[in-house]
Structure 1
Amino acid sequence: MIYIAALALIGGAGLLIYMLKEAFADRIIYKELSFSEFPESFGEVKLFFISDIHRRLISEKIIDEVKGKKTDLVIIGGDLMEKGVPFERVKKNVLMLMEIAPVYFVWGNNDYEVDFHQLDALLLECGVKILDNTALSFESQKGDRFVLIGTDDLSKDRERLDLALEDAGTGGFRVLVSHDPRIAKQIKKEHNIHLVLSGHTHGGQIHILGYSPYEKGRIKKLPETTILISNGFGTTGVPLRLGAKAETHFITLKNG
């Protein structure tokens, strides 16, 4: 009986250590995505996407690896912080990401747990562009457009996809960033949104016997668009993961 109890204790401790390693992994997932609509005049556009940082400090290992990849844009997909996270830590994370490339940010639900006016001021001070129901357009030498669209947080009823699309104008290759993947329900074929980047669900964070209320992060092809749902970098609640390892994403967009 004592032997069985000891084995159970060792097994439990081993599982806990494994879940901690999953939660604090410094993982970059590399993915090339080809679209026939992507303008050849851009060659390739390289994005580093990180979502749901919460309480974590981004490691220099990740920064150093991505810095060597000639990244064009860094995108923070919301939940940069949550209640109780020091603003000094947030600023350090942001400045580290700024070493890679220009940084763009959309709001997540946990970002509103703090003084979001202070967070807004911090981001502007650091030179981060906030996409809150707005869009930015980049133009190639041939006049083709790459459009980055961002919506405010859906769960707080602050998203206005209609305003963001109006700001985007017409045409162009369009990437929409929204913290909450449920934004996909609002997308119509005529919006011509080619890719959606989102997080929020943490990929379920902890899967018991393979089950969680949310599916693991992945790329899905929908009738109206393609969506990437990230497991996210940090955790909420308990700092543990099982079956949904922490991740960031390096995405190369090209014609194909």
Structure 2
Amino acid sequence: MEFFVLLFFFLIGLIFYMFAQAKRNKVVEHHLAFKEFPSTFGEVRIFFISDIHRRHVSKKLLEQVKRKVDFVVMGGDIIEKGVPFERVRENLRTLKKLGPLYFVWGNNDYEVDFHQLDALLLEENVKILDNTSALFESEEGEMLELLGVDDVSKNRAHLHLALADSQPGSFKILISHNPSVHKKVKKEDGIALMLSGHTHGGQIRLFGFGPYEKGGIKSLEHTTLFVSNGYGTTGVPFRLGVPAEAHVIVITGEK
């Protein structure tokens, strides 16, 4: 009997712990250096958030961003079925306090009326990177570009179109909700960094194991892949072993 009482309280405690992990507001800062990074930019600071799903973006999250960022990148799944559009609008306006917004589509974004979501994004001055690019140029003429591809699961991800929209010789950062797009990246594409989400790091990992690999930074053959464990949850509002996170990514040249 005593064993079952202890087990009951353990399970209750575990549920509360997993809920707290899912609702955590934590910004993790990362510093990445690339030899091909254009020196005239000095450094570029990106706020990256993916997989918001049902969450309200908390002011507590923004308070952790101590220095100005150049732009905010949303890595898809800012909504899912059952989430009111007004909540998305509130989240966009909260994130806009940090800087201009850039967005790529995720699979859950298509669970709602995506035409209405598209209109909302445009109303809030969000730049949608749907197989397109956004160019930034320094006063000395060096270039940096954000390339974005649409959702993989809907067969909308066309990396070749995003590359065709980009400039030769620019420092390229690719955003794709689903990290599997990295398999299409070739050396000649010149993509230095790729930002993704989607996997939630497995969301619930038991003894270190989960249905997906834990997020993090990987040096691949033709690019560097950054995968976020995400800010929200799907299915159940719980996390274990991969607490909710958002990121400030600081990019510089190698010294």
Give TM-score, length-normalised by structure 1: 0.98
**Deviation digits for residues 39-70 of structure 1, max 9, x if unmatched?**
1100010000000000000110112332x411
Alignment of 1:92-103 (within 5 A): 92-103=90-101
Q: Please state whether the residue corresponding to 2:230 is helix, strand or coil.
A: coil
| Aligned match of 2:20 | 21
CA distance in 2, matches of 1:180, 1:167: 20
| Aligned match of 2:2 | 3
| Aligned match of 1:82 | 80
| Aligned match of 1:48 | 47
Alignment of 1:147-162 (within 5 A): 147-162=145-160
| Aligned match of 1:113 | 111
**Deviation digits for residues 176-216 of structure 1, max 9, x if unmatched?**
00000000000001101000000000000011222112111
CA RMSD of aligned residues (A): 0.7
Q: Please state whether the residue corresponding to 1:235 is helix, strand or coil.
A: coil
CA distance in 1, matches of 2:167, 2:69: 25
| Aligned match of 1:213 | 211
CA distance in 1, matches of 2:101, 2:162: 18
Q: Please state whether the residue corresponding to 1:32 is helix, strand or coil.
A: strand
Q: Please state whether the residue corresponding to 1:6 is helix, strand or coil.
A: helix
CA distance in 2, matches of 1:64, 1:212: 31
CA distance in 2, matches of 1:14, 1:227: 35
CA distance in 1, matches of 2:213, 2:240: 12
Residue identity matched to 1:51: S
Residue identity matched to 1:203: G
Instruction: Give runs of ≥4 in structure 1 deviating > 2 Å.
Output: none
Q: Please state whether the residue corresponding to 2:64 is helix, strand or coil.
A: helix
Shift of 1:219: 0.4
CA distance in 2, matches of 1:14, 1:92: 32
CA distance in 1, matches of 2:143, 2:49: 24
Shift of 1:141: 0.8
Residue identity matched to 2:153: S
Shift of 1:218: 0.5
Q: 5+ residue gaps in structure 1? A: none
- 1:244 matched to 2:249: no
Give TM-score, length-normalised by structure 2: 0.98
CA distance in 1, matches of 2:147, 2:178: 14
| Aligned pair partner of 1:204 in 202, 205, 219 | 202
CA distance in 2, matches of 1:236, 1:92: 20
Residue identity matched to 2:38: P
CA distance in 1, matches of 2:249, 2:62: 15
- 1:128 matched to 2:141: no
CA distance in 2, matches of 1:3, 1:243: 28
Residue identity matched to 1:249: H
Q: Please state whether the residue corresponding to 1:127 is helix, strand or coil.
A: coil
Name which of structure 1's ranges 12-21 and 102-111 shifts more when overlaid on structure 2: 12-21
Q: Please state whether the residue corresponding to 1:22 is helix, strand or coil.
A: helix
Residue identity matched to 1:198: S
| Aligned pair partner of 2:189 in 188, 191, 194 | 191
